[in-house]
Amino acid sequence: MKTTLTRGYAVRLSRGMKTNLKAWILLAPSLVFLLTFTVFPILRSFFLGLTQYEFGMRSPEFIGLENYINFAKSALFWKIMGNTLYFSFLTVLPSMVIGLGLAMIVNTKIHGVGFIRTSFFYPVIMPMIAIASIWMFIYMAESGMLDQLLMAVGLKAMNVLSYRETVIPAMSFMYVWKEAGYLMIFFLSGLQNISGELYEAATIDGASPFTMFRKITLPLLGPTLLFVSTIALTNSVKLVDHIVIMTEGGPNNGSTMLLYHIYQQGFAWFDQAKASALTVVMLVIMLAIAMIQFVNADSRIHYN
């Protein structure tokens, strides 16, 4: 009697063990790559960020928080943070508003919806490098399309990429054009989840389209808005490809963004410690963006 009990227990345990083993064998390949190229580099950045490790040094030297203290004192660092923030400010909200507008257009039963949706979305699947190459010619001094247009109506050529005041707005305009179509599709699927009966009832009650938008569309899109804003923020903070083509951070660091600066520190100036410390700053920003969603996820109201 006693032996059978123990035996049954042993068999059960070993079955559980077998499932554990099977699961981890199946997870192993993903785990190895996620640990090596996501978890480990995060830890490595935290460690190297506390060291001095310039080109030519044999090994990193521990210097505590000196890199961060230097950043805090550096005008260039704050300029770059300001640029990054300014670019996000000029792109996130406009691309969301336009994306929602486009989604509402595409969601109606108008003629040629397929064509319209396609032309709003195609910039999304084009490489940023190709888009920057094309817009480079739009923005180019004097012979570019924009300046030609300005001169044709009697205004002065602006040469937007060469001035501190206009370089980020010009890049933002291009990026909003590219990103709006991407955000559109999330809004579109959000809109399609709102029951048409709500609008019908509101129409019978004599509500204006604006009231319906404010009282039905916006509240019911709440979760979508939150989710789209985190996507838009993440994307705008990590966008750098166009800088390589258009300005290389110029004029006078007027368009240098955080990730581009990481690239400069690590791969132009070969200072891996500073690049790591900047990566840590970037990680904190990414984490903060993710937190927006987690914090709101708890208090999120679910309609429908």
Partner 1 sequence: MRAGNIMKTHKHILLNLVAVVLALAWLVPLVWMIGTAFTEGSYTMSLIPHTRPTFENLRYVWNAVPFGRYYMNTMIVVAGTFSVQFVTVTMAAYALAVLKFKGEKLMFIIIFIQLIIPNDVLISPNYMTLGDLGLTDTKLGIMIPFFGSAFGIFLLRQMFKTIPAALSEAAVIDGCNTFQVITNIYVPSSRAAYISFGLVSISYHWNNFLWPLIVTNSTENRTLTVGLALFAKSKEAVMQWANVCAATFIISMPLVIAFFIFQKKFINSFISSGIK
Footprint (CB under 8 A) of partner 1, residues 180-209: 181-182, 185-186, 189
Region near partner 1 per CB under 8 A, out of 7-15, 85-93, 235-243, 249-257: 235-243
How near is the Cβ of 88 to partner 1 at its closest, in Å?
14
The residue among 3 and 268 lying less far from partner 1, judged by its C-beta, is: 268
Residue 65 interacting with partner 1 (CB under 8 A) = no
Q: One symbol per residue from 262 to 281: x for binding partner 1 (CB under 8 A), - otherwise; what is it?
A: xx-xxx----x--xx-xx--
Measured CA to CA, the distance from residue 243 to residue 89 in angstroms comes to 18
The residue among 90 and 281 lying less far from partner 1, judged by its C-beta, is: 281
Residue 69 interacting with partner 1 (CB under 8 A) = no
Binder of partner 1 out of 99, 123, 223, 249 (CB under 8 A): 123
The residue among 32 and 218 lying less far from partner 1, judged by its C-beta, is: 32
What is the torsional sign of CA 238, 241, 247, 248?
positive
Residue 296 interacting with partner 1 (CB under 8 A) = no
Using CB under 8 A, which residues numbered 80 to 109 contact partner 1? 102, 105-106, 108
